Structures are given as structure tokens and as C-alpha cells.
Amino acid sequence: MRVVLLHFLSAENGKHSSILKKLSDAASKNGHQVDVVSGTRDTDSFRITPYEYVAVVCPCTGIIGGKISAKVSEVLENSGSVSGKKGCALVVKSGLSAQKTSRNLMRAMEKEGMVIDYFDVIENADHAAYVGKKIG
């Protein structure tokens, strides 16, 4: 299955880099073809249409509040046909509002017509390896 790992994480953050690597490696071991795409940089010519499964990964932006970046909704709107695609919502934990951020991310994905079959809050790189097995 073709899987896109669409992330809105900082490339300079070592924790975020290791989480992305573990997610990608674990999903690849399940036989999926995984493409990792940055939602903050690589979105000019990016299309979700050729992928069968979309995993969206975003960080918690504040200590409290549970807000997601406006870029998430913008990328999902402008990336081709996402209606009816299966996907998962993953949030990297930092602060107290990870569950609310997860709920808001799922709401944004479902607003575009995606079918969410899995969601989780990633605590560390080891947990990311476990979560990556469930992608796809």
C-alpha cells in the first residue's frame, strides 16, 4: 500500500527526526511503501491523490489550548482529492493538551472527507515504533 507520512514537525528538532524515522521504518516493515513529506516545506507541487493511506503527524503547539497549525487544513484542502481516503491522526506529545490537539486534528481531517481509522499521541521514539506498525 502506498502511504504518505505528512508531517508538520520541526526538522531541526532531534526528537521529531527520530520519531519520523521510527514511524517510517515500522510502516515499511509491514510491507508499505512510505513517503515522508513535510507539510511546511514540500507542499507546492504535492498531491495526496496517488496515495491510499494518509498519516498526518503534528506537534502540540502550546502548553494548553489544543490548537493545530492552520497550515494543516490548508495543505489538506489544496493537495488534491482526499475525500474517502483512509488515514490516521498522530500527535507528538508536549505540554498538557495532547488529547485536545488529537481531537482537533481528527476534526480537520474529517472535515475534508477523510476516514480516520487510527489515532494516537506519540510520547517518544520507542512509542513511535509501536505506532508505526499500525499505520496502513
CATH of the domain at 78: 3.40.50.360
Q: What end-to-end distance do the CA atoms of the chain give, in Å? A: 7
> Is the pLDDT reported for residue 43 higher than 80?
no
Residues 6+ apart with CB under 8 A from 60: 66, 91, 92, 93, 94, 95, 97, 98, 101
The range of the structural domain enclosing residue 124 comes to 2-133
* pLDDT tier at 123, thresholds 50, 70, 90: very high
User: pTM score > 0.75 for this model?
Assistant: yes
**What residue type is 58 in one-letter code?**
C
* pLDDT tier at 65, thresholds 50, 70, 90: confident
Total domains in the fold of the chain:
1
* Half-sphere CA count of 91, side-chain side, radius 13 A: 25
* CA proximity to 127, closest of 13, 22, 35, 12: 22
> Is the pLDDT reported for residue 72 higher than 80?
yes
